[in-house]
Amino acid sequence: MAGVGPTAEIHDLVHRRLHESGIRYTGGRRAVVTAIQMATGPRTAAELANAATGDLPVSSLYRSLAIFGETGILKKHHGSDGIARYELAEWLTGHHHHVVCVACGAIEDIDVPDAAERALHDIASSLGAQAGFRVLDHVLEVEGVCLGCEVTGDR
Ligand SMILES: [Zn+2]
Ligand SMILES: [Zn+2]
């Protein structure tokens, strides 16, 4: 999940990945990665624009998001509201899962205890094997209604 790796280490990994593609890791791009890394789940471009420190033009934010997408630094999620949300890819932050609000589309990281993660892995592996697949990975999203939507009843 976001925040697993120390910020300095993540910047270092992002820098190296961009460098491989001949792309400079500018201050603006660094600010975008920091904003994403501080978030507790995938965030929309608008949310990231608000969270990013410094005077970051929206056009440059979108350009950064596109570059990070092309270089595999970001993972993009399409929420139930159809709005794209971005988080750092798992190779940067570690394997994790999400809880998704079916009312407003908000997505938050959830902490899966090791024992539950092993159980999920075993279930996914046996289900995949039934279909003749060698299982590589799994994705699990828990759907629900977030606290904000539950309180306002706005759904
Ligand atoms: Zn919600
Ligand atoms: Zn898992």
Structural domains in the chain plus CATH codes: 1-94 (1.10.10.10), 96-155 (3.30.1490.190)
Q: Tens of pLDDT along 72-107?
A: 999 999 877 889 999 999 999 999 999 999 999 999
Q: Give distance in angstroms: CA of 59 to centre of ligand 1.
A: 27
Ligand at shortest distance from the CA of 95: 2
Q: Give distance in angstroms: CA of 31 to centre of ligand 2.
A: 29
Residue 150 has pLDDT above 60, yes or no: yes
Residue 2 has pLDDT above 50, yes or no: no
Beta strands in 3-155 (DSSP E): 74-78, 84-88, 97-101, 107-110, 141-144
Please state the rounded mean pLDDT for residues 136-149: 93
